């Protein structure tokens, strides 16, 4: 919905700045679905850190925060998925004492919420301990809505789900609902790429499969000037054009589609760039023998696992020319050190372009992992916090959690 002007024409995107939270209780859907180790310690607190500006703004206004989230995929109530495990980490990050209640609806939760004073924070127990959460149950949503005066959605990671706490609960706050800073920033970043971005606009799509990116490609062909197709995906295009790809990963049943995409791109004046050379390996392993070959002349028994030097140089020039850059998916098997160069070099180019004033958005799955692993996080304009939500946004889909606030 957010990219379809017809849908949002007369809708004002309400954010935290439209409200004064003094003496108000904000019911905030955050995404605290963080990874825990076997000692129940948080191993990556990015999502908690990302929610901090929203929480602090509300506290500084003189309001209080009731935080609700899911954690993992519990089957009923399972202690290992209790949000109490993260209380200390949230306290450390926010610098404020956290009150925790081991329920998210009902009398206990309502009493804890009612007793909350301005400046205080209450963390509710895992929403998914109730199956009604994922079912988007109306009664459960209504119970949640009793806890706060203003509903704030700041969980981009679950905005593509029509769950009780992400979407349905908004119905009970017809006027008093808004986006948190994080979610607003995610929306703005995607809009900058798909709608308002300065030209030339470049999308780099990599990763393993054409099939998982096809809807994205079709949606963005109308919005970009350049499209780089890299990684495992590129071999389906090369084979479809008659190239020899050896043992490289390929989706034979998507060859027609690949040719059709190239045709559509041409008709839409989008310049498509596919690697011209690759690092070919004789096995899928870090100790493989490798050679640089043309991408359409990969010998039998060898497979393309990374972009070659000529491709890296060509991609660098395209990135440097671009004013708006979207990056989704690695250019090679970056998890293996030997095959990470193409992805690292692309990251370097995007970092340099960003330094020169381009807007760069990295989002959706493995490119985020790569950006973090190789230290580019602070060198690009924005790294999305949502995997599936980002992919669905790029596909041009309506995200129910966003639509519910815009209504």
* Residues at the interface with ligand AMP (CB under 6 A): 207-209, 212, 231-232, 249, 304-305, 329-330, 332-333, 335, 365-366
Minimum Å gap between C-beta 249 and ligand AMP is 4
Q: Which of 24, 25, 47, 161 is catalytic?
A: 47
- Cα of first residue to Cα of last residue in the chain, in angstroms, is 11
Measured from the CB atom, the residue of 81 and 334 that comes closer to ligand AMP is: 334
Q: Which of 14, 52, 84, 209 is catalytic?
A: 209
Question: Is there a catalytic annotation at residue 47?
Answer: yes
Q: How far is the CB of 294 from ligand AMP (least distance, A)?
A: 15
Residue nearest to ligand AMP (CB): 207
**Token pair 């949000």 in the structure block, residue:** 83
Tokens 């070659």 locate to: 308
Residue 388 appears among annotated catalytic residues: yes
DSSP code, position 104: S
Between 51 and 279, CB nearer to ligand AMP: 279
Residue 154 has phi, psi (to 5 degrees) of -130, 25
d(CA 28, CA 13): 17
In the complex with ligand AMP, the residue whose CB is nearer, 365 or 388, is 365
CB 24, min distance to ligand AMP, A: 41
Pair of tokens at residue 274: 């596919």
Of the pair 164, 281, the CB lying nearest ligand AMP is at 281
- For residues 34 and 307, which CB has a smaller minimum distance to ligand AMP in the complex? 307
Whole-number Å distance between alpha carbons of 302 and 172: 59
Ordered alpha helix ranges (H), 43-153? 46-61, 87-94, 106-114, 131-135, 138-145
Q: What string of DSSP letters covers 296-358?
A: TEEPTT-EEEEE-HHHHHHHHHHHHH-SEEEEES-SS-TTSGGG-HHHHHHHHHHHHHHHTT-
Length of the chain: 407
Token pair 């011209």: residue: 276
Residue closer to ligand AMP (CB basis): 304 or 396: 304
73 catalytic residue (yes or no): no
Asked if 308 and 275 touch (Cβ cutoff 8 Å), the reply is yes
Question: To the nearest whole angstrom, how small is the minimum distance from the Cβ of residue 47 to ligand AMP?
Answer: 20
Taking the complex as a whole, how short is the minimal distance between the CB of residue 10 and ligand AMP, in angstroms? 36
Active-site entry in 365, 372, 387, 397: 365
Say if CB 16 and CB 56 are below 8 A apart: no
| Minimum distance, C-beta of residue 288 to ligand AMP, in the bound complex (Å) | 12
Give me the active site residues, please: 47, 209, 365, 388
């Amino acid at each position: 919905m957010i990219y379809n002007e017809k849908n949002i024409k007369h809708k004002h995107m309400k954010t935290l700045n439209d409200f004064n939270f003094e003496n108000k209780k904000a019911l905030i859907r955050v995404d605290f679905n963080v990874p825990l180790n076997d000692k129940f310690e948080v191993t990556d607190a990015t999502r908690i850190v990302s929610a901090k500006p929203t929480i602090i703004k509300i506290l500084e206004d003189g309001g209080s925060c009731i935080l609700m989230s899911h954690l993992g995929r519990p089957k009923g109530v399972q202690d290992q998925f209790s949000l109490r495990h993260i209380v200390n980490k949230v306290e450390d990050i926010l610098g404020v004492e956290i009150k925790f209640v081991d329920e998210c609806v009902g009398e206990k939760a309502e009493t804890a919420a009612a007793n909350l004073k301005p400046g205080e924070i209450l963390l509710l127990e895992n929403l998914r301990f109730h199956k009604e959460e994922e079912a988007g149950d109306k009664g459960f949503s209504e119970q949640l809505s009793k806890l706060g005066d203003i509903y704030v959605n700041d969980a981009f990671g679950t905005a593509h789900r029509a769950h009780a706490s992400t979407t349905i609960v908004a119905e009970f706050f017809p006027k008093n609902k808004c986006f948190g800073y994080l979610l607003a920033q995610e929306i703005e970043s995607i809009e900058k790429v798909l709608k308002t971005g300065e030209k030339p606009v470049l999308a780099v799509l990599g990763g393993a499969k054409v099939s998982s990116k096809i809807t994205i490609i079709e949606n963005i062909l109308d919005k970009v000037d350049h499209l780089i197709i890299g990684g495992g995906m590129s071999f389906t295009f090369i084979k479809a054009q008659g190239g020899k790809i050896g043992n490289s990963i390929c989706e034979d049943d998507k060859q027609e589609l690949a040719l059709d995409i190239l045709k559509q791109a041409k008709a839409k004046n989008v310049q498509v760039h596919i690697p011209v050379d690759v690092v070919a390996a004789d096995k899928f392993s870090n100790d493989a023998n490798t050679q640089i070959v043309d991408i359409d002349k990969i010998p039998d028994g060898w497979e393309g696992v990374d972009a070659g030097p000529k491709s890296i140089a060509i991609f660098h020039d395209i990135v440097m020319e671009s004013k708006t850059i979207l990056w989704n998916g690695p250019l090679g098997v970056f998890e293996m050190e030997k095959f990470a160069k193409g992805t690292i070099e692309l990251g370097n180019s995007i970092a340099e372009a960003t330094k020169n004033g381009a807007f760069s958005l990295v989002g959706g799955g493995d490119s985020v992992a790569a950006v973090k692993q190789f230290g580019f996080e602070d060198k690009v304009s924005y790294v999305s916090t949502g995997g599936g939500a980002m992919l669905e946004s790029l596909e041009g889909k309506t995200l129910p959690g966003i639509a519910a606030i815009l209504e």
